[in-house]
Chains A and B, each alone.
Chain A
Amino acid sequence: MALKIEARRQISTRMLYLTPFIAVAATVVAGFFLFLILGADPFLSLYYFFVSPLETKYGISELCVKAAPLIMIAIGLALGYRANIWNIGAEGQLTMGAVCGGAVALAFWDESGIYVLPLMALAGLAGGALYAAIPAFLKTRFNVNEILTSLMLTYVATLFLAVLVFGPLKDPMGFNFPQSRMFTDSATLPIIWSETRLHLGFVIAVAVAVGGWVLLTRSIVGFQIRTLGSAPAAARYAGFDRTRLTWFCLMLTGGLAGMAGTFEVSGPIGQLVPNISPGYGFTAIIVAFLGRLHPLGIIASGLLMALSYMGGENAQINQGLPQAVTGVFQGLLLFFLLASDFLVRYRVRMVKPVLEG
């Protein structure tokens, strides 16, 4: 028997939806061997990694807390990726959003009012969007590759945040720790599940996903984005404005990432600190792909990737394994997904070898 590869006439929809599951299964198998190499009981480790976080109220609420920023960012990224606009600097846009939202919270530190939170969210949105406007401007005006600029700006944003929390925004009563004051109640997101950290941001993230779905499938802009990505020549012929769409996708992603950053500091963290995100901006790239660049798929993949963060923490607490296991799992998952994508476009068939001679 030999394997024969043939191209499908059209992409397989069945495989398109099946490949994420194949990728997850392959990652679990790889994880089994990874834990074995690390000298841990593989079955127990997989249990701690993938199952035990879901067994408690705390676990489920934390899952949603971590999924919220991933979903929000991935929705924006997915729209851009569909149009072949490669913003990979969401981590920096998140940071700038957190800085702007946090600055508003600190500016209104002495005041309390229902207006503080919306103002913060708007500031976060604007901060992230403006930060994404830099690669958008350079891309549309000077044709500078947005992959490199958005990524370089991530390093700049992280350093900028450090400047602020070590300097102007440092808590005057904070014993010189590099962190801002704790935000007041007016600047803290309401908790939607008592005795947990689950905040309003999760609801907004899901709403954003639904909005993204409507935008992508039911609006002209969504149609233009899809056309630009899948048939650039047709898009050009139809007169779709590539410059405008580039601006739209980058600003939208930046804005959403910025708002997600504000929600992080006004939700689970409660103040500005040097490390706001455990790489949400990068993990969201995987979330977008794993969700098949589809808003509703992204909700599911966002929850799954949130689980990988919790699994990493669990592996550390219960098994004494380095938390970095999370990163390896995330990378492997994306590898397997990209590899299994092959099946969407190609068919592998068993054929009987023809005897020669």
Chain B
Amino acid sequence: MTAEMILPMVLTVIAAATPLLLAAIGELVTEKAGVLNLGVEGMMLAGAVIAFATTVGTGSATLGIFAAMVAGIVMSLAFGVLTLTLMANQVATGLALTIFGIGLSSLIGSSYIGTPVTKLATLAIPGVSDIPVLGPLLFGHDVLVYASVALTVAVAWFLKSTRKGLILRAVGESDLSAHSIGYDVIRVRYFAVMFGGLCSGLAGAYLSLSYTPMWVEGMTAGRGWIALALVAFASWRPWRVLGGAYIFGGVTILQLYLQGAGGIGVPAQVMNMLPYLATIIVLTVISAGPWRGRLDAPACLGKPFRPAS
């Protein structure tokens, strides 16, 4: 295979990986603080539809992206109020967020079905973007692709090397100890949840503005759930989230290429099952394999925090 054939394939892998990476890196921070938000799919859908509607309405993709971030944050705040302040069950609340997000997005989106929008422009960097192969591979993407990698770097640095990152991890590992030495557990968790919402909103914006520049009902197609699986797959480490997102992006693209290659006599729907089956297999392998003992899930994940008053 020549570079001319491989390059477009790699570019599509990057496109397929980006929404997974954005959503998963946000959820990673949320879970590191000890909160399990199963509403990623719903927040992504809300982000996707708001980004699309805003971009169509104002003609500005930048405003669309910001609106998606706000939508994600607002949704995550609803989750935060219920689970952190009112101490509702996190699993049930996450499901509610997804059901609500599916309904709300199709309600808002119903008048936008079939409306076209200009695909998010690539940010070419003068000079380096023109280098053959390497140029388009590294410097020929839209802002959200750069953002997904930048956010991963930032999160990795934040969690590992900053004091605030240490506090956040402490809150997720042992909320009572963190509380007893004076950290505001609920406040930290609110910020973590909101960051997760922001990232999910961005992931949705990427889907409706760049990946398939249009609005389709339920266009996330389970990517929010795959992102959740990715966090476990990455055993709660940012760099592994990056790797995992690209592996899953690869699986998604693999099935498209296998379909395109044709002649293998397998219905398209069977190929479409691949990402979901891959998720199940990967989850099984990491839960059962030799990595089992080193999963490193935050100790307080999913447990409500009730300080003794």
Check A167 against B267 for contact (C-beta < 8 Å): yes
Contact of B287 among A143, A329, A334, A342 (CB under 8 A): A143
Check B283 against A338 for contact (C-beta < 8 Å): no
Instruction: Knowing A285-B95, A327-B102 are in contact, say whether A147-B280 is a contact too (CB < 8 A).
Output: no
Q: How far is the CA of A154 from the CA of B149 in the complex (A)?
A: 31
Q: Is A332 an interface residue (CB 8 A)?
A: yes
Check B103 against A329 for contact (C-beta < 8 Å): yes
Q: Which residues of B are interface residues toward A (Cβ below 8 A)?
A: 38, 42, 78, 81-82, 86-89, 91-93, 95-97, 99-104, 106-107, 110-111, 221-222, 225-226, 228-229, 232, 267, 269-270, 272-273, 276-277, 279-280, 283-284, 287-288, 292, 309
Q: How far is the CA of A163 from the CA of B272 in the complex (A)?
A: 11
Task: Tell me, rounded to whole Å, the shortest Cβ–Cβ distance linking A154 to chain B.
Answer: 8
Question: Which residues from B are CB-within-8-Å of A286?
Answer: 96, 99
Q: How far is the CA of A306 from the CA of B100 in the complex (A)?
A: 17
Check B269 against A163 for contact (C-beta < 8 Å): yes
Check B106 against A166 for contact (C-beta < 8 Å): no
Interface CB pairs A-B, < 8 A, 12: A148-B232, A148-B279, A152-B276, A153-B276, A163-B267, A324-B104, A324-B106, A327-B106, A328-B103, A330-B100, A331-B96, A339-B82
The secondary structure that dominates the A interface is helix
Q: Is A86 an interface residue (CB 8 A)?
A: yes
Q: Is A142 an interface residue (CB 8 A)?
A: yes
Task: Tell me, rounded to whole Å, the shortest Cβ–Cβ distance linking A173 to chain B.
Answer: 21
Q: How far is the CA of A331 from the CA of B93 in the complex (A)?
A: 10
Q: Who on chain B is nearest to A86 by CB?
A: B91
Check B103 against A330 for contact (C-beta < 8 Å): yes
Question: Which residues from A are CB-within-8-Å of B103?
Answer: 324-331
Given A142-B288, A331-B97; 18 other pairs, CB 8 A cutoff: A7-B309, A143-B288, A144-B283, A147-B91, A148-B283, A151-B222, A152-B229, A159-B273, A163-B267, A167-B267, A282-B99, A322-B110, A322-B111, A326-B103, A327-B104, A331-B96, A331-B99, A334-B92
Within A266-317, the residues touching B (CB, 8 Å) are: 282-283, 285-286, 289
Q: Chain A interface: which size bin?
A: 35 or more
Q: Who on chain A is nearest to B109 by CB?
A: A324
Question: Which residues from B are CB-within-8-Å of A335?
Answer: 78, 82, 93, 96, 100
Task: Tell me, rounded to whole Å, the shortest Cβ–Cβ distance linking B84 to chain A.
Answer: 12
Contact of A334 among B99, B225, B276 (CB under 8 A): B99
Task: Tell me, rounded to whole Å, the shortest Cβ–Cβ distance linking A71 to chain B.
Answer: 18
Question: Which residues from B are CB-within-8-Å of A153?
Answer: 276, 280
Q: How far is the CA of A177 from the CA of B101 in the complex (A)?
A: 32
Q: Who on chain A is nearest to B38 by CB?
A: A147
Q: How far is the CA of A339 from the CA of B106 in the complex (A)?
A: 24
Q: How far is the CA of A142 from the CA of B279 in the complex (A)?
A: 15
Check A160 against B273 for contact (C-beta < 8 Å): yes
Q: Who on chain A is nearest to B105 by CB?
A: A324
Question: Which residues from A are CB-within-8-Å of B229?
Answer: 148, 152
Check B280 against A338 for contact (C-beta < 8 Å): no
Instruction: Knowing A167-B267, A335-B82, A341-B86 are in contact, say whether A138-B225 is a contact too (CB < 8 A).
Output: no
Within A70-103, the residues touching B (CB, 8 Å) are: 86, 88
Contact of A331 among B104, B273, B276 (CB under 8 A): B104
Question: Which residues from B are CB-within-8-Å of A147?
Answer: 38, 91
Question: Which residues from A are CB-within-8-Å of B222?
Answer: 151-152, 155
Instruction: Knowing A159-B272, A322-B107 are in contact, say whether A342-B96 is a contact too (CB < 8 A).
Output: no
Question: Which residues from A are CB-within-8-Å of B225?
Answer: 148, 151-152
Instruction: Knowing A147-B38, A325-B107 are in contact, say whether A138-B269 is a contact too (CB < 8 A).
Output: no
Q: Is A215 an interface residue (CB 8 A)?
A: no
Q: Who on chain B is nearest to A38 by CB?
A: B107
Task: Tell me, rounded to whole Å, the shortest Cβ–Cβ distance linking A333 to chain B.
Answer: 9
Q: How far is the CA of A166 from the CA of B225 in the complex (A)?
A: 27
Question: Which residues from B are CB-within-8-Å of A166?
Answer: 267, 269
Contact of B228 among A148, A322, A339 (CB under 8 A): A148
Q: How far is the CA of A339 from the CA of B288 in the complex (A)?
A: 37
Q: How far is the CA of A156 from the CA of B271 in the complex (A)?
A: 10
Q: How far is the CA of A330 from the CA of B277 in the complex (A)?
A: 29
Check B107 against A156 for contact (C-beta < 8 Å): no
Task: Tell me, rounded to whole Å, the shortest Cβ–Cβ distance linking B116 to chain A.
Answer: 20
Task: Tell me, rounded to whole Å, the shortest Cβ–Cβ distance linking A313 to chain B.
Answer: 14
Q: How far is the CA of A330 from the CA of B95 in the complex (A)?
A: 11
Task: Tell me, rounded to whole Å, the shortest Cβ–Cβ distance linking B200 to chain A.
Answer: 16
Task: Tell me, rounded to whole Å, the shortest Cβ–Cβ distance linking B71 to chain A.
Answer: 14
Check B87 against A345 for contact (C-beta < 8 Å): yes
Check A289 against B92 for contact (C-beta < 8 Å): yes
Contact with B along A151-189 (1 / 0, CB 8 A): 111011001101100110000000000000000000000
Question: Which residues from B are CB-within-8-Å of A159?
Answer: 269-270, 272-273
Q: How far is the CA of A338 from the CA of B229 in the complex (A)?
A: 25
Instruction: Knowing A159-B269, A166-B269 are in contact, say whether A339-B276 is a contact too (CB < 8 A).
Output: no
Task: Tell me, rounded to whole Å, the shortest Cβ–Cβ distance linking A249 to chain B.
Answer: 15
Instruction: Knowing A148-B225, A152-B225, A331-B101 are in contact, say whether A324-B110 is a contact too (CB < 8 A).
Output: yes
Question: Which residues from B are CB-within-8-Å of A322?
Answer: 106-107, 110-111
Q: Who on chain B is nearest to A167 by CB?
A: B267
Q: Is A196 an interface residue (CB 8 A)?
A: no
Contact with B along A119-140 (1 / 0, CB 8 A): 0000000000000000000100
Q: How far is the CA of A152 from the CA of B232 in the complex (A)?
A: 15
Check A142 against B95 for contact (C-beta < 8 Å): no
Q: Is A319 an interface residue (CB 8 A)?
A: no
Q: How far is the CA of A125 from the CA of B273 in the complex (A)?
A: 24
Question: Which residues from B are CB-within-8-Å of A285?
Answer: 95, 99
Task: Tell me, rounded to whole Å, the shortest Cβ–Cβ distance linking B19 to chain A.
Answer: 16
Question: Which residues from A are CB-within-8-Å of B95?
Answer: 88, 285, 334
Task: Tell me, rounded to whole Å, the shortest Cβ–Cβ distance linking A63 to chain B.
Answer: 20
Question: Which residues from B are CB-within-8-Å of A332?
Answer: 100
Q: Who on chain B is nearest to A288 by CB?
A: B92
Q: How far is the CA of A189 from the CA of B87 in the complex (A)?
A: 45
Q: Is A145 an interface residue (CB 8 A)?
A: yes
